[in-house]
Amino acid sequence: MRFEISKVLDAIERRLCVDPAMARAVLDLSEVVRYQDLDQGRPASMLRLGMVIDALGRQLAEEDVPVYVILPRALLSDADLTSNERMVARRWADDGLVEVVPQMNDRVLEVADILGLPVLSRERYEGHRGSYPWIGDPGRLIAPIVGHGGAALVARVGNGQATPGAQSQAGLRLMSRLWRCPENPCASFGGDSGGDSFFADLRQPEQESRPGAQPPPTLRQGAPTCPRHGTRLSDGGPRPAAEALAIRVGGVVRQRFVVVEDEPLEVGRAPDKGGIMLGQWLSDEARKWISRAHVRFDLRGGELSVTDVSTNGTGIRPGGSMDEDDRLIIKRKKRALDPTDLVELYPGVHVGRARNWTSGGVSDPVSVLTDAPTMSLRVVPPRCAPRLRRRSACRFASEPVPRWSGKSTRVSSWSR
C-alpha cells in the first residue's frame, strides 16, 4: 500500500508546475490537503491534491493539466501528514516544483494577478476585492466541492469553468525580466531550478526547468522579492521569449510544451532527447507516416516558425481551417506561423498555439489517482470477525481486516 501511495504522489508530481507559460490554475496546498469532506479520511492527506487536479482536468477536458501549487513552510513539517508525504513535499519544494512561502497571506491572489490564472480555493477573499477587483469576474475563483466519486469544481461567479484573465501591467513588467536570489540555494530564483537540491538525483529528466521558467517574484514596497526567503532580488537580464504550444491527436489535447527564443525544439514520433514524443498517442498508420523527428519549431525575434525535417512532408492549416483546399504542404522547408495556424503531421495530428484550444476534448481524462490503493471487502457479521482474524490462510489473509461497522462495503486506504 505504501508503494502504491508513492506511485500516486509521483503521478501528482508530474502535474506540478510553476512555469508561467504552462500553469492552468493556482491553489493553496495547505487548504486542499485539509479538505476532509472530500474523502472523510485523515485530517490531512496529500491525495486530496490529486482529487482536485483530477477535477480541474475533467472541467477543462484535458489530459495532464499543470497546476501552480503554493504552500506555507509549516506544511513541510505538519504532523497530520505522513512522514512519506512530508518527505515528498520537501522534495517538491527543493526541486522548485511548488512554491514555498513563510505565510500564505495573499500570495495565491498575487500569482493569479501577475499570470492571469484562475484560483482554486474555498476562500471567497472578500477582503481583497479592492486590491484584486477581478475576484468578481466569472470563472476567476473556482471552489473545490464534494462531487460524485471525488472532487468537483464550481465557479464562485457565473456557471462556467475556470477562466484565465489578463495579466496585470505590473505582472507584465515583472515577467519580462529574470531575477536572482542572493540566498543559495534558491529553487525559484537560483538559476537552474533544483540543481542544488538534496533530491536532485531523484529528479526526472522531463522535470528539468526550461530557461526562463521562473515563477513570479512577490512585490514588497514596490521591489521584486523572493517569496520564499524574503530577500530582494537582483535583475538577471531580459527573460527569453517563449510560446506555449499544444499537441492535439484525434481532437484531444494530449500535451502542452514551450518553445523558447533561440532554443529550437523537435516534435515527432520519437525524437532524440529533449524533443517532444508523440508515439504513445498515435495509431499504427500515423506511426508509420510520422518520422522520428518530423518538424522543428523555432522562435526568433518573436516570430514562431516550423521547419519540416521529415520523410513524408508536413501540412499547414492556415487559420486552423479544416478545408482541404486551404491545406498547404511543406517539405524540407521553413514557414512562419500566424497566430491561428495549425501544423498537421498526419490527419488528426495537429500542433498549434495552446491558447487556440479552450477545451482539451477529453470527457474523462486519465486520473492521477489511478494507482491509489483501494480494497473491496466483504461485510462480516460481528460474530464471525474473531474467527476470520484467526484464518491466516483465507482469501483475506493478505488484506487488513477492518472492524465491522455494519455500514460500508468498500474501504479506501485514503481514510486510513
Domain stop point among 172, 206, 238: 238
Same domain as 119, residue 44: yes
Q: How far apart are CA 48 and CA 31, in angstroms?
A: 10
Residue 415: per-residue pLDDT = 37
Could you tell me which residues come within 8 angstroms of residue 62 by beta carbon, excluding any fewer than 6 positions away? 253, 359, 360, 361, 362, 365
Residue 372: per-residue pLDDT = 63
Domain that residue 189 falls in: 2-238
SS3 content of the chain, % helix, strand, coil (to 5): 25, 25, 50
Average pLDDT per consecutive 10 residues, the chain (416 residues; last block may be shorter)? 73 94 94 93 95 92 92 96 95 94 95 95 92 93 88 86 84 92 89 45 50 88 93 94 93 91 94 91 96 97 96 96 95 96 97 87 83 46 43 38 38 36
Domain stop point among 182, 211, 238: 238
Residue 162: per-residue pLDDT = 83
Could you tell me which residues come within 8 angstroms of residue 395 by beta carbon, excluding any fewer than 6 positions away? none
Same domain as 253, residue 112: no
Three-class secondary structure of residue 30 per DSSP: helix
Prediction pTM value: 0.81
Q: Quick one: which H or E segment has residue 54?
A: helix 47-60
C-alpha cell at 316: 499547414
Same domain as 386, residue 348: no
Same domain as 126, residue 16: yes
Q: Is 227 part of a structural domain of the chain?
A: yes
Closest CA to 45 of 28, 31, 57, 56: 31
Q: What does each C-alpha distance from 42 to 4, 232, 347 come to in angstroms?
A: 17, 39, 48
